[in-house]
Amino acid sequence: MTKPRRLYIFTGKGGVGKTTLAKAFTRCLLEHDLQAAYVTLQNQSLGERNTGTKDSKVDGIREISLDLEDAARGYIEKKLGSKLIASWIVKTPFFRALVNMMPGFSYLIFLGKMLQLGADDPRLILVLDAPASGHALTMIESTTNFQQIFESGAIFDDTMKMLSRLNDPEYTKIHVVSLPSLMSWQEAQELRAGLIQRTPVTVDITVNNCLYPLLEENLDELPAGLREKALYERQLVSEHRDQMRCVLPHSLARDTALVQADLLGSLPNLI
């Protein structure tokens, strides 16, 4: 098996199934006797439904839902050594405006929290379900931007540490998720190209929810519309297969856990 990275980022347009895929991949890591946690980001600005970080087990998977205010408070507390002062700072209008107005600042805070989780448990692998395509690009860009803004000092030093991890091919890997449609595929290719320009880590495309593998044996018996869809998907995959890391068939299961189970056999390829 390929040596696992410590941080996997699943990204793509909404509706491509990246949440189910990211959770299934987390389960895949667990089945290979690796420690893993599925991670989401609750909010993108301070004061926006700050409900606290949640760390719990759901259907056997550790799920961490990071809260921006919690992550910011923890970062400041670590720097200043005072929980009281940190709690006061994150509530000030100036700090809230600073975080909310500077593009990417929230991602810098979230990334710092994730790297701290990894440092606290050297065996833990984090699987991040990025909110949407643009968020992954912003996260990659934010550390570079802040490196340029802060040329020295504590934030500069922290940003350099984040950059070294985020851009380390042995630490981080990015999976772009697409559907088997031309528009979704083109969007995935554009996103991959944008990420490759910004980071040296591996960026792969996984095509999810393909119907044609389930229908190939009975194409002639299908209704015309469904047959055309299956043939279209098969042609798209055939033409671009060398650019696809993994092609996942549609699951007929109705239960989320069973859908994840259907995917498990194909997911070691993503490690």
Task: Compute mean pLDDT per 10 residues along the chain, 271 residues long, and list them.
Answer: 90 90 95 95 74 88 93 86 88 84 79 90 95 72 64 68 86 95 94 92 94 78 82 92 92 83 89 93
Does the pTM surpass 0.75? The reply is: yes
Supply the Cα-derived Rg of the chain in whole angstroms: 20
pLDDT of residue 106: 82
CB 104 within 8 A of CB 145: yes
- Alpha helix segments (H runs only) across the chain: 18-31, 68-80, 83-91, 93-101, 105-120, 133-149, 154-166, 182-198, 212-215, 224-240, 256-263
Domain map of the chain by residue range?
7-209
CB hemisphere CA count around 9 (13 angstroms) = 30
The answer for residues whose C-beta is within 8 angstroms of residue 254's C-beta and 6 or more apart is none
Neighbours of 35 (CB within 10 A): 12
Specify the CATH class of 7-209 in words.
alpha beta
pLDDT of residue 151: 62
Amino acid at 183: M
